[in-house]
Amino acid sequence: MNFKIENHISMKKYIVLLLTVVVFGSCVVYHPHNVDIPLLSERGQLHVDGSVSMSAPLLVAPALNATVAWAPLDMFGVQASASVTDFKNCYFQAAGGTYFPFGNAVLECYLGYGHGLSYDDSVGDLNHHHYTVDGSYNLVFSQINFGWAGLDDGGIDVGMGLKGGLLTPKWDKIERLSDGTETLAERHDQVHFLLQPQLMFRFGWQKVKFSVNVAYAFLTDWPTENNYFNYERFSAGLGMHLMF
């Protein structure tokens, strides 16, 4: 009987400690953004995609995402995308490149630049020290997309993408003292290589489709001992896709 009670108390303490570490000791400075894979196939095409996505394993607030892709010329396309989380963390990117249609199959190659802002003023630790994590990052990247557009009489699109690039951050962890003063506790500005595969599935009608996107991010040389500069590995989004 005593063993069961002690076991129950130990488990309860463990759960409380785990939740405290997740809620108060975590800040997400990057997550895989739900950028659409447009699969442009001819001059004049305009694709607009809007979605809501969630990321894991820390499960931050949902992100609102929007992507616009346009083919102004044969075999040349441009793309712009934006993502906002909590109205505090945001990311913008622009890219240009080429596309090669082969019947229903499409190959796209892009070069682009992205800029993100990260902010969190609610993190702390078990010693009642409170911190603000604030900063930004730049991303220079290339991306290759491949897929099939307009299957099943135009109602289904399937695509996959692979993004790779250099992410250059400058994130500050600032300690907030009880008297209102702030001191720089730590700075993270190490350059990382980003590798991010992505899968896309769209279904519906020829011009209007529902979209599903999943992505996974991997950053090299990440500081595993610091839980204030976390990044999310996985994201999944649902949205609406329009083609003009």
Q: In tens digits, what is the pLDDT along the chain, a chain of 244 residues? A: 554 544 544 554 444 433 433 444 457 889 999 999 999 999 999 999 999 999 988 777 799 999 999 999 999 999 999 999 887 899 999 999 999 999 999 999 999 999 999 988 766 655 567 888 899 999 999 999 999 999 999 899 999 999 999 999 999 989 887 777 788 888 899 999 999 999 999 999 999 999 999 999 999 988 776 667 888 999 999 999 999 9
Q: What is the CA radius of gyration of the chain?
A: 21
Measured in residues, the chain has a length of 244
Are the C-beta atoms of residues 15 and 213 closer than 8 Å to each other?
no
All domains in the chain, ordered by first residue: 2-243 (2.40.160.20)
Q: What's the predicted TM-score (pTM) here?
A: 0.84
Q: First and final CA of the chain: distance in angstroms?
A: 69
